[in-house]
């Protein structure tokens, strides 16, 4: 593992690392914020970014480091897909590199490298835990495609995370154009296989031990709201299960990082309430 960047930030350290990934078959980068040292090791919040993003979008635009330093939370920001000249790609922004959808692809040419779920579930946690000391408590959050990723990671791994939150997540990818395009390419034509990567489907069928607090913020001025995001579908799935979901519709906010920056402090405080219990 190679450190490629480091900056002092609010008394902590903002770092960027590169490592060879055996799961994805290519070099990968991730960003890491380590808060100022305290008597005990910090808990860890995973942030998953959206379409066209990499590991740096959140670190440079969200303004999360100040509150993470104050609360004593470490932040880890993985990339959104495998990268490289030998990695399958597509000319469109919503498929291929930068658009991994946090799943394990089963169809050629994607299946060789596009295994972001396994990478995030197994390889990257093992790597960072072998180099850094954390408290063992974790939470997860994300935006848009990354909100989808955060929700499915939490729902598919009961007990791993204390809480989950999302900004403008793609909650029902089986039923919206972004998800249908990606799932058709990555997973094939059999739509029954799509369900294990859809948070509405997962929540509706989740075991009781998968229950955890959820916070979702959605701007009502988001141009993707009606066609691609549809948070009401997740709210209905949660209502039917009496699931602890808080869905907040934020008036006048769009899909951008200005939206995330406006409410990231509230999300970090939400997670801190569970990470330090």
Catalytic sites, residue numbers:
144, 222, 255
Question: What is the spatial distance between Cα 14 and Cα 85, in angstroms, rounded to a whole number?
Answer: 28
Question: What is the spatial distance between Cα 117 and Cα 110, in angstroms, rounded to a whole number?
Answer: 13
Helices (H), the chain: 57-61, 65-71, 116-118, 124-131, 145-156, 177-187, 199-205, 231-241, 257-275
Sign of CA dihedral 32, 275, 249, 81: positive
Question: What is the spatial distance between Cα 156 and Cα 164, in angstroms, rounded to a whole number?
Answer: 12
- Give the helix, strand, coil percentages of the chain, each rounded to 5: 40, 25, 40
Determine phi and psi for 212, rounding to 5 degrees: -155, 155
Sheet holding 164-167, edge to edge: 2-9, 12-21, 26-34, 74-78, 44-48, 138-143, 164-167, 214-219, 245-250
Q: Are 33 and 13 in contact (CB under 8 A)?
A: yes
């Amino acid at each position: 593992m190679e450190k490629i960047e480091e900056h002092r930030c609010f008394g902590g350290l903002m770092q960027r690392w590169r490592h060879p990934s055996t799961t994805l078959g290519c070099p990968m980068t991730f960003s890491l914020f380590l808060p100022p040292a305290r008597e005990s090791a910090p808990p860890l919040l995973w942030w998953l970014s959206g379409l066209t993003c990499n590991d740096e979008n959140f670190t440079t635009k969200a303004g999360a480091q100040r509150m993470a330093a104050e609360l004593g939370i470490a932040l880890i920001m993985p990339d959104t897909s495998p990268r490289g000249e030998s990695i399958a790609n597509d000319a469109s922004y919503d498929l291929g590199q930068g658009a991994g959808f946090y799943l394990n692809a089963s169809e050629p040419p994607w299946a060789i490298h596009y295994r972001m779920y396994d990478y995030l579930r197994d390889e990257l946690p093992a790597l960072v835990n072998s180099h850094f000391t954390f408290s063992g408590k974790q939470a997860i959050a994300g935006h848009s495609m990354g909100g989808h990723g955060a929700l499915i990671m939490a729902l598919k791994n009961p007990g791993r995370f204390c809480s989950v939150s999302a900004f403008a997540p793609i909650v029902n990818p089986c039923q919206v154009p972004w998800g249908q395009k990606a799932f058709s390419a990555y997973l094939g034509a059999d739509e029954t296989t799509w369900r294990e990567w859809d948070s509405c489907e997962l929540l509706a069928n989740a075991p009781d031990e998968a229950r955890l607090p959820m916070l979702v913020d959605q701007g009502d001025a988001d141009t993707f709201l009606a066609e691609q995001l549809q948070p009401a579908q997740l709210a209905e799935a949660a209502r039917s299960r009496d699931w602890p979901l808080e869905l907040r519709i934020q008036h006048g906010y769009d899909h951008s990082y200005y939206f995330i920056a406006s409410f990231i402090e509230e999300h970090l405080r939400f997670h801190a309430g569970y990470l330090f219990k």
